[in-house]
Amino acid sequence: MCYCKTPAQWDETADVVIIGSGLAGLSAAIEAARVAKRVVILEKMPYYGGNSVLAGGGYFCWDSKLKMRQKLDLGEDSSDSHFEDTLRSGGYYSDPKLVRAMVDGAPDGLDWLVSSGAQFKDVLAKIGGHSAPRSYQSACPGKPMMDFVKKRALDAGVELRLNSEVTGIFRDGACGEVCGVEIKRDGQPLRIRASRAVIIASGGFAGDVELRMEHNPVLDSSLPCSNHKGATGEVIRYAKSIGADALHMAFIQLYPCASPKSGSVDRWAFYAYSGTGFGMIYVDKRGRRFVRELAGRDEVSKAQMDTGHGCTWAVLNDGIVRALGMTDSEVALGLKLGRMIAADSLAELESKLNMPGAALTDTIDRINSALANGGPDPDFGGPRGSGMLALNDGPFYAIGQWPTVHYTMGGLRIDEEARVIDALRNPIPRLYSAGEVCGGIHGNNRIGGNSLAECVVFGRIAGKNAAAETA
């Protein structure tokens, strides 16, 4: 709804009102609570966390107090390298100022997560689109990591309200300040005044088929979606109705390694994505590679769909399993659930995957030979990549994978201070935003691992600046 008029009466008042309880919203709330006396998070779903509780826990940054790159002797990295990789992966559509703010703030953001209780494995992976290993892997991904952040927010006095759907944002006139929101709670409207500011952290819109087809008609209901059920875009509409600008709405990302049956991005999907930097390969049902594994998500997803098979396979062995930090219990569960297929030999794996002849064996023999001789990639040319492990010894494993609608790069236009910008390129007073609901950071293709960093960095910026507004 459009509310460009202050209501005559408010039902209650808070200093800072935050829409959405994912990592961006919680990060904003914790920062805002350092100054503001009353910070309220409004979550429409009966659970907290949004897509953040489904995240695989890959946090990408070029350095941190953990010094994992130095400990593992993985060479050099820099903010400039992370910056350039992000711009290149996004087709240079990204706003460079936003990217710079994210990559420069990412190391401190990781340290902040660690100080909140999150733990990270002694692994630093290199994945598609990145020129260096910088994927810090959470030892407690998804909800366990979010529980640490939620506890920190609640300990700071933040009020978290579930089942509180925002139905409109109030602005004092067409050019005035944002002053509050309307919510629907137990079927009744409730108007909450924000004496300092409102922060939008409501997440993306991948789950709204109508909205995503409005901007990208190819992504219809035939494609699965990895997002939680609340990943719809109504708050973007509310913000636009009071003058907010939006951009890059047609840029919607597929995740190439989802479960072929459910479209969900589970832990094995993340391993299937992260293992490419260690030598994991992707093959089709004929046992042939169909894409360079370290290509971006958009390129890998398109190549998968071009096979027309409905399922492709990530192939790895026990050495890569260990390099990824995958536990024995995760392997056992993956086998039990059918997400992983195991075999003692490549011939046995070919048989279990119904692949013709010795096609997979031939594919892997050529890769192993190239690695042993220091030669180029036998299928796609150019260097195979440093740090790759040979697929010599078993046991061998395969993880089924297929693209799913995963992330919306477009959303509200913001500046590096997390202020929401209107169509005339002016900041809307007392309105901030952070997380997937924002556009302009990832360009036309989000490079893997930047989403958690974005949520923490811009969430904290939004919270700090919102609390600094005069009450």
Task: Give, in order, the Cα–Cα distances in Å from 294 to each of 129, 298, 375.
Answer: 6, 11, 17
pLDDT in tens, 176-229: 999 999 998 888 899 999 999 999 999 999 999 999 999 999 899 988 899 999
Within 91-173, where are the H helices? 96-115, 143-155
Which residues are annotated as catalytic?
A: 297
Calculate mean pLDDT across residues 313-342: 96
Predicted TM-score of the model (pTM)? 0.86
**DSSP secondary structure string for all residues of 216-283:** -TT--TTS-B-S-TT---HHHHHHHHTTB-EE-TT-EEEEEEE-TTT----HHHHHHHHGGGGT-EEE
Average pLDDT over residues 36-60: 93
- Sequence-distant (≥ 6) Cβ neighbours of residue 426 within 8 angstroms: none
Tokens of 270: 């993340």
Q: Give the chain's domains with CATH numbers.
A: 2-251+409-467 (3.50.50.60), 256-404 (3.90.700.10)
Average pLDDT, the chain: 93
Q: How confident is the model at residue 161 (pLDDT cuts 50, 70, 90)?
A: very high
pLDDT in tens, 408-450: 999 999 999 999 999 999 999 999 999 999 999 999 999 878 9
- Beta carbons of 10 and 32 less than 8 angstroms apart: no
* Residue pLDDT, tens place only, 84-132: 999 999 999 999 999 999 999 999 999 999 999 999 999 898 887 889 9
pLDDT at 5: 67
Supply the DSSP symbol for 447.
Answer: P
Residues 274-297: tens digit of each pLDDT? 899 899 999 999 999 999 998 888
In this structure, are residues 405 and 206 in contact, taking their beta carbons and an 8 Å threshold? yes
Token representation of residue 83: 């910056």
Q: How far apart are CA 451 and CA 52, in angstroms?
A: 9
